[in-house]
C-alpha cells in the first residue's frame, strides 16, 4: 500500500489550483493525505482523490502564523512519523520547499520531491527545476509529473471539486454572485457597491458572499438590494453557491478558483501585483479586467503602493456589468 502526502501550506485558492496534481498522485497511490494551512484545509477536503486532510500553520509560508513554535513543530513531526512512503511538496515560485522537506526528513519520510532552486543537500530525493510561466494548475501538474505522478487517461487536467457539494436554501434560480473581499488590500476592487446596484437595476438576482470577517463589507456592497450571505457560508457551501451561479464577479482571491473548479464563468478584477499568466482563473469562460501594466505589476504588494489604486479603481462599474452580460449562459 502506497501512502502519499501532498503538502500545500498557504491559502484556499493555492490549494484549489493543486487539484490536478493531487489527482495525479491519487492515480498511483492507495491513500492520499494533504497537509494544508488553516486557510486552505477546507478547500483541500473538496479535492477529488483526497482521503485525509491535516493542518499546520507554517511560519515560513503564512505571514500571520507567528514565530516558530518548537512544540508545534515537534508535534507535527511526531504526527507524520512512519505514516508516509512518499511526499510531494507544492509551493509557489517565490516560496521555498526546504523547511517543509527538513521536517519530512525528521519524520522519516523516505522519498520527498519538490521544486528547489537552492541546493537541497539530502533533503530532497527528487529535486525539480522551476517550471515556466504556465498557469498555476499546469505548473503544479508538471511538478507532480516530474516526481513520477501522472494524471490518469482521460483526465484533462482541469480544476475540479467533489460532486457532493452542499445545497444552500433560498438561492434565486440564476444568481450572479459578487465576492467583494480579497486576501490583500492591493487586490481589492473598490467599486463593488456600484456594480451590484447596476446589476440589480438590470434585473439580475445578485448574491453577495464573503467570509466571517467581511460581514460589514458584504452588507455595504449588497446595499439592501442583493442577497447578503457574508459570513454565513462554509467553504463547501460557498462552492455549492458558485456551482449554481450564472457568473461570479470577484477579485484575485480564492473563490475565483473555486468557481473555475465548478465550471462557473468568472469576471476577474485582477490586480497585477502577481502574474496574470500564473494566477488568472483557470477556465476558458472568463473576462479579466484591470491594468496589467500598472507600476505595481509583479510587486507582490499586499497594500497598494500606487496612490489611488488605479489598476482596479479605473475599471468602470459599467465595464464589469458588461463583462457579466458577456458571460451569462456561456457555460450552460
- Asked if 40 and 10 touch (Cβ cutoff 8 Å), the reply is yes
The pLDDT, as a whole number, for residue 98 is 97
CATH number of 175-327: 3.40.50.2000
Tell the burial category of 306 from Cβ atoms under 10 Å away from its Cβ (0-12, 13-18, 19+).
middle
The CATH homologous superfamily of the domain defined by 3-146:
Glycogen Phosphorylase B; (3.40.50.2000)
Task: Write the pLDDT tens digit of every residue in 11-60.
Answer: 999 999 999 999 999 999 999 999 999 999 999 999 999 999 999 999 99
Tell the burial category of 30 from Cβ atoms under 10 Å away from its Cβ (0-12, 13-18, 19+).
exposed
The H or E element containing residue 305 is none
Concatenated DSSP letters for 218-229?
A: HHHHHTTTSEE-
The pLDDT, as a whole number, for residue 198 is 98
Task: Write the pLDDT tens digit of every residue in 215-250.
Answer: 999 999 999 999 999 999 999 999 999 999 999 999
The pLDDT, as a whole number, for residue 332 is 53
The pLDDT, as a whole number, for residue 66 is 86
Q: Extract the C-alpha cell encoding 15.
A: 490549494
Distance CA 149, CA 155 (A): 13
Residue 246 DSSP code:
S
Task: Write the pLDDT tens digit of every residue in 132-143.
Answer: 789 999 999 999
3-146 shares its CATH topology with 175-327:
yes
- Asked if 13 and 45 touch (Cβ cutoff 8 Å), the reply is no
Name the residue ranges covered by the structural domains of the chain: 3-146, 175-327
The pLDDT, as a whole number, for residue 301 is 77
The pLDDT, as a whole number, for residue 171 is 96
**List of the chain residues with pLDDT < 70:** 331-332
Angstrom CA distances, 189 to 113, 254, 289, 319, stand at: 38, 15, 10, 13
Please tell me the pTM assigned to this model.
0.95
Residue 212 DSSP code:
G
With H, G, I as helix, E, B as strand and everything else as coil, classify residue 205. Answer: strand
Cα 9 to the center of its chain, rounded Å: 11
Amino acid at each position: 500500500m502506497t501512502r502519499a502526502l501532498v503538502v500545500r501550506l498557504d491559502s484556499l485558492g493555492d490549494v484549489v489550483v493543486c487539484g490536478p496534481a493531487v489527482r495525479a498522485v491519487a492515480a498511483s497511490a492507495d491513500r492520499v493525505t494533504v497537509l494544508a494551512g488553516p486557510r486552505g484545509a477546507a478547500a483541500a477536503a473538496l479535492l477529488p482523490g483526497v482521503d485525509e486532510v491535516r493542518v499546520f500553520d507554517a511560519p515560513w509560508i503564512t505571514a500571520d502564523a507567528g514565530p516558530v513554535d518548537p512544540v508545534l513543530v515537534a508535534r507535527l513531526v511526531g504526527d507524520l512519523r512512519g505514516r508516509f512512503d512518499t511526499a510531494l511538496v507544492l509551493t509557489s515560485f517565490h516560496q521555498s520547499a526546504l523547511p517543509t522537506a527538513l521536517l519530512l526528513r525528521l519524520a522519516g519520510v523516505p522519498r520527498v520531491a519538490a521544486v528547489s532552486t537552492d541546493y537541497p543537500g539530502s533533503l530532497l530525493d527528487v529535486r525539480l527545476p522551476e517550471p515556466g510561466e504556465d498557469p498555476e494548475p499546469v505548473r503544479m501538474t508538471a511538478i507532480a509529473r516530474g516526481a513520477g505522478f501522472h494524471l490518469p487517461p482521460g483526465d484533462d487536467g482541469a480544476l475540479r471539486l467533489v460532486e457532493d457539494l452542499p445545497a444552500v436554501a433560498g438561492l434565486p434560480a440564476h444568481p450572479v454572485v459578487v465576492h467583494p473581499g480579497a486576501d490583500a488590500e492591493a487586490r481589492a476592487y473598490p467599486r463593488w457597491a456600484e456594480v451590484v446596484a447596476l446589476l440589480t437595476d438590470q434585473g439580475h438576482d445578485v448574491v453577495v458572499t464573503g467570509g466571517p470577517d467581511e460581514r460589514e463589507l458584504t452588507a455595504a456592497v449588497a446595499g439592501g438590494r442583493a442577497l447578503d450571505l457574508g459570513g454565513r457560508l462554509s467553504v463547501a457551501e460557498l462552492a455549492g453557491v458558485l456551482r449554481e451561479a450564472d457568473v461570479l464577479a470577484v477579485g484575485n482571491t480564492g473563490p475565483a478558483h473555486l468557481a473555475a473548479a465548478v465550471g462557473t464563468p468568472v469576471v476577474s478584477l485582477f490586480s497585477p501585483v502577481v502574474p496574470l499568466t500564473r494566477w488568472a482563473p483557470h477556465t476558458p469562460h472568463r473576462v479579466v479586467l484591470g491594468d496589467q501594466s500598472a507600476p505595481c505589476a509583479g510587486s507582490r504588494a499586499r497594500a497598494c503602493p500606487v496612490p489611488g489604486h488605479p489598476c482596479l479603481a479605473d475599471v468602470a462599474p459599467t465595464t464589469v456589468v458588461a463583462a457579466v452580460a458577456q458571460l451569462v449562459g456561456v457555460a450552460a
